[in-house]
Structure 1
Amino acid sequence: MVDNVASDRVVIGKISGVYGVKGWVKIHSFTEPMENFLGYKSVSTKLNGRLTTIEFDKSHKHGKGLVGHIVGCDDREMARNYTRCELSVAADQLPELRDDEFYWRDLEGLQVYSQFEEGEEVLLGAVHHLIETGANDVLVVHHCEHAIDDRERLIPYLPEQVVLDIDLEQGRITVNWDPEF
């Protein structure tokens, strides 16, 4: 995202399709748990290249997902214009986390150091993104300047077992991970 307004926003969901004939849409939530999305009545999306605010006057869980009605959108064809739109909120609208919790966006870009051997520390790379596997989240670590090699690494996000320390101020994560993996 290029402009400051967009970079201060966090994508919390996406409209995945239309639902019914009266302007309802299917919402794929990126929040955890997914129902947390329902706490946001006003979100933003890009329509025709412009950041636009949309409001949901009704929304609820439906089956394995969520559905919502956009204010002023009262037919299926109008709702179809919103399909595939990402839904975002201002970063300061996100709930406060405990000291031992982190948003994925806060971990992206942090340098990852391995303390596999006692007393020896090596730079493995930087967190490019994270993926959810069901069992646990995974740090996808890509090469960065001064890294020991140019390999991509998939490191399980297992606090205390693999992830030993996260220091946002220093921009680093310390892991117990064999650099050969």
Structure 2
Amino acid sequence: MTPLLDAAELPADAIEVGRIADAWGIKGWFKVIPYSADPEALFSSKRWYLLPAERGAKTFTGTLLMRVREAKDHSGTIVATANEVVGRDAAEALRGARIFIARESFPTAATDEYYWVDLIGLTVVNREGVALGQVKELLSTGPQTVLVIGDQALDAEGAMKPIERMIPFVAAFVDGVDLPAKRITVDWQPDY
């Protein structure tokens, strides 16, 4: 039994933040697998947009809007319930659904804290103003986060080829992040 969720248009700033793992209990609650170690956006947003699972059985098509009644941490697992999801069968029908939240619904980051999604695509320059490339992705290495910077360089034959730089995202190397200017300034040289 598919829950009676409204069809919706996915917001332009929607970010995929997790997926529904399975039903939890008999009253329409479901388990959520977050894609972040800090799933605060799942707890703060009351409007989740669902897209069908990428693999497996699809019980719905298109984008659906779920009005979350409650989302909470329960013994290290995130569980949630929504107004439209009544009973275990309805929750099971959502298994595998991908959860998106509008970026504007994320909680405000603290000073000198950033959502990774906001750093992707920023231009990285060093103190001398030399452009080092753009942030392609970020990696969590345990003790620190690493910026993966994509750029172009001449090879031995004089042709342009793609290169990557990896810069630790720590105060020793990162002088500042200017989100409005879409720029990160670092203490790093092109030949490192």
Residue 54 of structure 1 deviates from its aligned partner by 0.9
Residue 44 of structure 1 deviates from its aligned partner by 1.4
**Alignment partner of 1:140 is 2:111:** no
Give me the whole-angstrom Cα distance separating, in 1, the residues matched to 2:93 and 2:153: 43
SS in 2 for 1:7: coil
**Alignment partner of 1:24 is 2:29:** yes
5+ residue gaps, structure 1, are: none
Residue 102 of structure 1 deviates from its aligned partner by 2.5
Taking a change above 3 Å as real, the CA distance of residues 65 and 137 of structure 1, as seen in their structure-2 partners, is: farther
Match of 1:66 in 2: 78
5+ residue gaps, structure 2, are: 1-8, 53-59, 155-159
- 2:11 is aligned, of 6, 20, 27, to 6
SS in 2 for 1:106: helix
Match of 1:79 in 2: 91
- 1:177 is aligned, of 165, 168, 188, to 188
- 2:124 is aligned, of 86, 92, 112, to 112
**Which piece of structure 1 moves more, 126-135 or 46-55?**
46-55
Cα deviation, 1:69-114, whole Å, max 9, x if unaligned, reads 2333344443233233232233322223345332222211111123
Alignment of 1:96-111 (within 5 A): 96-111=108-123
Normalising by structure 1, we get a TM-score of 0.74
Taking a change above 3 Å as real, the CA distance of residues 25 and 150 of structure 1, as seen in their structure-2 partners, is: same
Residue 178 of structure 1 deviates from its aligned partner by 4.3
Normalising by structure 2, we get a TM-score of 0.71
Taking a change above 3 Å as real, the CA distance of residues 154 and 49 of structure 1, as seen in their structure-2 partners, is: farther
Contact residue 162 and residue 175 of structure 1 kept, 8 A: yes
Bigger RCO of structures 1 and 2 (CA < 8 A, at least 6 apart): 2
Taking a change above 3 Å as real, the CA distance of residues 91 and 164 of structure 1, as seen in their structure-2 partners, is: same
Cα deviation, 1:38-83, whole Å, max 9, x if unaligned, reads 2323311124442211133343212222112233334444323323
Give me the whole-angstrom Cα distance separating, in 2, the residues matched to 1:32 and 1:156: 19
Cα deviation, 1:12-37, whole Å, max 9, x if unaligned, reads 33223333454332112346633552
Identity among equivalent positions (%) equals 28
Contact residue 126 and residue 144 of structure 1 kept, 8 A: no
Number of equivalent positions: 172
**Alignment partner of 1:150 is 2:150:** no
SS in 1 for 2:42: helix
